[in-house]
Amino acid sequence: MSGISYKHFTLGVEEEYMVIDPVTRELKSHEQKIVQEGEKVIKDKVKAEMHQAVVEVGTDICRDIDEAYVDVATLRKTISAIAGSLGLWVGASGTHPFSHWESQLITDHARYSQIVNELQEAARSNLIFGLHVHVGMENREMAIHIANSARYFLPHIYALSTNSPFWEGRLTGYKSFRTKVFDKFPRTGIPDFFDSIEAYDNYVKLLVKTNCIDNAKKIWWDLRVHPFFNTVEFRICDVPMTVMETITIAALFQGICAKLYKLRTQNLNFIIYPRALINENKWRAGRYGIEGSMIDFGKETEVNTRVLIYELLDFIDDVTGPLGIRNAVSNVHKMMEEGTGADRQLKVYEQTNSLPAVVDYVHDQFLAGL
């Protein structure tokens, strides 16, 4: 084993939770009370989101996956307890099974008013819940290199995270409908290839200069190099139903970054595929989750999605030890057996024919395994 240090691959995890009325099972505005109470306990780790029925949490910068697990678990327990004390529930699903966005209140905040004013119905209807994983980088030059290559793996992890099969009381036919809702925003989806960090920064500067955006945070791609920090932010995933799933996905993203870094230190590169091809796999992942097939671009053939995910595990295997993520990554096998959040939501619906029962299940799973 060569003396590569993976210490700079720190982790940050952000999750968005839905606030639920225990009686109607509808989404409910918490009037930012959860945030106000949360700030007393977990300070700035809890934030309001654009819709008042959403609570966003974010971990500290975690040195490894074990720290991230403790942090995410603590955040879920804290928010759940605060919601309970206010007579509310929380749950983690990419979309609410039947609530309608038209009836949801927007948070009174200058940034959100501006977004709604610009994006109108696309913003008001953007009632979705995601997972963002930040992986620390040595520097921003390395970050853009890793981001370019990591794009290929986005559909694989997205397939594992699928957790939004319902939208406004309808069975969408997708395992992840959340992305379809978010696609209405500009500057979303799989990013382009950038041949240097300067090229990326110049792109951002041009957008700011021409009044397309006022800051780089309005670039909402599935993966982005952070405008200020040395991190790559993975944004493609639905928020997973359980902590275990969130931590497994965070570990996979960390493993991919470390493996691409290791290749780079050995003067090796992963093949860069065009966005148009990666998009084909993203579409399949959203539609079928882990039950479908994706394209293996190297072999130019369709391959069972599960096989490609197992190949990904093999690909990152040599860095899982040094990173300390072997256990977390091995949870993928369990996720494959039990199905993604979407598969499990659909199973409950098949058994009960009741969307409120699906909400009950999502709520019950929020602290599962803790």
Confidence band of 153 (pLDDT split at 50, 70, 90): very high
For position 321, what pLDDT does the model report?
A: 98
Percent pLDDT > 90 in the chain is: 95
**Nearest alpha carbon to residue 225 among 309, 150, 327, 310:** 150
For position 102, what pLDDT does the model report?
A: 86
Beta bridge partners of 47: 56
Mean pLDDT of 275-282: 98
In the predicted model, what is the mean pLDDT of the chain? 96
For position 62, what pLDDT does the model report?
A: 98
pLDDT tens, residue by residue, 106-123: 999 988 899 999 999 988
pLDDT tens, residue by residue, 233-269: 999 999 999 999 999 999 999 999 999 999 999 999 9
**Nearest alpha carbon to residue 259 among 197, 325, 192, 304:** 325
Three-state DSSP at 346 gives helix
Residues 120, 122, 127, 129, CA torsion sign: negative
Antiparallel, parallel or unpaired: β 293-296 and 301-304:
antiparallel
Mean pLDDT of 272-290: 97
Question: Distance (Å, rounded) from C-alpha 156 to C-alpha 181?
Answer: 20
For position 174, what pLDDT does the model report?
A: 98
289 pLDDT higher than 60: yes
**Dihedral, CA of residue 87, residue 93, residue 94 and residue 98, to nearest 10:** -70
Tell me the domains of the chain and their CATH numbers: 11-365 (3.30.590.20)
CA–CA distances in Å: residue 356 to residues 76, 86, 111, 170, 349? 22, 20, 33, 13, 9
pTM of the model: 0.98
For position 2, what pLDDT does the model report?
A: 58
Contact of 358 with 347, CB cutoff 8 Å: no
pLDDT tens, residue by residue, 125-151: 999 999 999 999 999 999 999 999 999
pLDDT tens, residue by residue, 340-366: 999 999 999 999 999 999 999 999 999
Confidence band of 3 (pLDDT split at 50, 70, 90): confident
Mean pLDDT of 92-109: 94
Which are the contacts of 24, defined by CB distance < 8 A and separation ≥ 6? none
- The length of the chain in residues reads 370
For position 1, what pLDDT does the model report?
A: 45
Helices (H), the chain: 33-42, 65-85, 110-119, 121-124, 140-150, 154-161, 178-182, 197-209, 243-265, 275-288, 305-323, 326-338, 341-352, 355-365
